[in-house]
Amino acid sequence: MHDCLFVTKEKEELVNNKFKSGFVTLIGRPNVGKSTLMNQIIGQKIAITSSKPQTTRNRIQTVFTDERGQIVFLDTPGIHKAKNKLGEYMVNVAERTLKEVDVVLWLVEPTTFIGAGERHIAEQLKKVSTPVILAINKIDTVKKEELLAVIAAYSQIFEFSEIVPVSALKGENAEHLVETLFSYLQEGPQFYDEDTITDQPERQIVAELIREKALRLLSDEIPHGIAVSVESMKERKKGNIMDIDATIICERDSHKGIIIGKKGAMLKKIGSKARVEIESLLDIQVNLQLWVKVKKDWRDSDFLLKNYGYRDTDY
């Protein structure tokens, strides 16, 4: 019956060609590929990606627009058990978003083992009436017949509106996923201009790009103890160069030494890799100056969390 309705809905859409719009939140455990999927759908690097978990800290809003309509994606921090105030902030933002959107898109890995983390998410989803679409990611890593067992396992813990297997990395089935999302949205207004891909201030994206490079280049014990604050972004009068001053904040003096590196080599490496992507984002030559400061226990300070852009009242 559901399939029948879905087909009719799609045919009706084609005939009427009505503009649809709505908000979709993307949830999933840390490091499941949410940011990679966003970048694949939008076609431009917005959410930072890293092999380290809990890369996404703020609720990043990205916008997809075509002739069918507009989808505003909220890419939330992963839902997990909080260990400090930063963790609590991330979890609160993620869980509150579930009630505020038109569709919940839950991204999981292709395994039949459903751990406590996924079961926790399923329990949160049972509290809301929003349609939930399950996207099984990383299908390029398993045989297609194995997917049937994964679908069966997840179907037992929650009643999904749709289940769509995808590969965020390869882009496989990404367009089908977008079509499926549109089928659950109502006719509505265009919230943003066609060329808008994010509502984040440029300064915040620049800070996140710098943090991504630090995440990738530094040793495992440091990255979650860092934040990046962009102090200034000024375009020169001639308009061909953007001067950016940014500070990497860490929790320990020993970390500061590692981030700077021998004769400043690590900091220079982080800066040069970040500069390339910032230039691509801003479409202008960039002069990037990076500094390192120690702020002990900033992750447990409400004042410092707000100072570095993690404002709970924003959402």
Helix, strand, coil percent values for the chain (each to nearest 5): 45, 25, 35
Structure-token pair, residue 35: 């940011």
Question: Who contacts 278 (Cβ-Cβ below 8 Å, separation ≥6)?
Answer: 206, 209, 210, 244, 286, 288
Kindly tell me if the per-residue pLDDT of 183 is higher than 90.
Answer: yes
pLDDT at residue 236, rounded to an integer: 82
Q: How many residues does the chain have?
A: 315
Q: Are 213 and 268 in contact (CB under 8 A)?
A: no
How high does pLDDT run on average in the chain? 78
What CA–CA distance (Å, rounded) separates 242 from 239? 8
Q: Are 310 and 57 in contact (CB under 8 A)?
A: yes
Over residues 202-214, mean pLDDT: 84
Q: Are 249 and 303 in contact (CB under 8 A)?
A: no
More confident call, 297 vs 60 = 297
Residue 28 pLDDT grade (very low, low, confident, very high; cuts 50, 70, 90)? confident
Kindly tell me if the per-residue pLDDT of 47 is higher than 60.
Answer: no
More confident call, 8 vs 259 = 259
Residue 299 pLDDT grade (very low, low, confident, very high; cuts 50, 70, 90)? low
- CA-based nearest residue to 20, from 54, 59, 67, 90: 67
More confident call, 161 vs 44 = 161
DSSP SS3 for 181: helix
Residue with tokens 């869980």: 95
Q: Which amino acid is at 154?
A: Y
More confident call, 124 vs 156 = 156
Share of the chain above pLDDT 70, in %: 71
pLDDT at residue 232, rounded to an integer: 80
More confident call, 172 vs 39 = 172
Structure-token pair, residue 217: 């280049």
Tell me which DSSP letter residue 167 carries.
B
What CA–CA distance (Å, rounded) separates 223 from 269? 15
Helix (H) / strand (E) element for 172: namely none
pTM beyond 0.85: the answer is no
pLDDT at residue 224, rounded to an integer: 66
Q: Mind listing the pLDDT tens digit for each residue in 83-93? A: 666 566 666 76
How far apart are the two ends of the chain, measured CA to CA in Å?
38
More confident call, 166 vs 188 = 166
Residue 75 pLDDT grade (very low, low, confident, very high; cuts 50, 70, 90)? low
Residue 155 pLDDT grade (very low, low, confident, very high; cuts 50, 70, 90)? very high
Question: Who contacts 307 (Cβ-Cβ below 8 Å, separation ≥6)?
Answer: 229
